[in-house]
Chain A
Amino acid sequence: MIRTEEALREALKSRGGEAVSPADLLAHLHDRSLGRGRRRRNALLAAVLVVVLTVAGIAVFGHWLHDRRPTAGIPSPQPTPVVKSSLRMPLGPPFQYSFTIAPEAGFVVQGHEIRRWGERQTVSLPADPSLGVATV
């Protein structure tokens, strides 16, 4: 069926006439206006809370990670176990000579233990000079 523009106009007018009454809408509008303000305030508070909790969480986690590191900021106390010497003693009696091969003696926190390190080490030169290697 072919329709006319007038029929279309009438259909739209009749549909428009079925609109809800302004008084009903105004009552809703007032309620929603109040509710909208409250909702916006709550949303803002929730957003601020989320940001604060996130920052606090990151800070706590970072601190925990830092504490877990075993030797954070402490130099390695590992002394060199073997010293090679070019000192040769072809003649004379065997002798001993001691010297420090580690950094200055002291204490270090390693893991959860306190250890001594940097002790004086005794280096013995062999009686047989042909070996020519000192052992600790």
Chain B
Amino acid sequence: MATSGLTFDEFASAHLDALLRFATALTNDRELGADLVQDVLLRAHERWTHVGSRTDPVPYVRRMIVNEFVSWRRKWARVVPGVNLADEIPETGAPDHAERYADHLSLLYELERLPRRQRAVIVLRYYEDLPDNEIAQILGCTTSTVRGYALRALRALRVEIAVPGATHVSGAERRKP
């Protein structure tokens, strides 16, 4: 089996930034995201002979992050109260910049209120641009379950789905001619 040949330090310096961004998008909180990555990297460091022996350790570590995020231990993590700004602003005609910003914040707020598995699906799909079958592998469920999670999450977020019921295609695949 081909190995990455990376030491833990090399791996951390090359991929830590991307992992931190992913964890921050997942938790919707920069401190919680950093905390999550710290915990996962400490465990990855302890088992680096196993983790580093993979061809590409990044998906494995990303999976560790998602699993840690959806695990019961994180359910007691601190909760940051937020305000849905979009509800506070009266509906007018065309949205101006302030309104768009308020909607952006309220979208993040609503994202935070989603069940963890649904949030993980949304982040893996729209932030990491992963196809549904890879998301299913990460979460340890079927592709149809992933689609179900995504559909419920998008409905809750009031996001218009381009082609209803269609299988999600990753960003990389979309860019192909």
Contacts and interface: CB of A to CB of B under 8 A. Distances in A.
Q: How large is the interface on B (under 10, 10 to 19, 20 to 34, 35 or more residues)?
A: 35 or more
A28 B33 CA distance: 14
B79 interface: no
Nearest to B22: A16
A18 B28 CA distance: 9
Contacts of B24: 15-16, 18-20
Interface in B22-42: 22-25, 28, 30-31, 33-34, 37-38, 41-42
Given A20-B30, A25-B34, A32-B42, A8 B126 contact: yes
A4 B154 CA distance: 10
Contacts of A8: 107, 122, 126, 154, 157, 159
B12 A26 contact: yes
B103 interface: yes
B21 interface: yes
B132 to A, nearest CB: 14
B111 interface: yes
20 contacts: A1-B158, A2-B160, A5-B126, A5-B161, A8-B107, A8-B159, A12-B25, A13-B25, A15-B28, A16-B24, A18-B30, A19-B20, A19-B24, A19-B30, A20-B20, A20-B31, A20-B33, A22-B17, A24-B34, A29-B38
Interface of A: 1-5, 7-20, 22, 24-26, 28-29, 32-33, 36
Given A16-B21, A16-B24, A22-B16, 18 more contacts: A4-B160, A5-B126, A5-B154, A7-B104, A9-B127, A11-B104, A12-B127, A13-B127, A16-B25, A17-B21, A18-B24, A19-B34, A20-B30, A20-B31, A25-B20, A26-B13, A28-B34, A28-B38
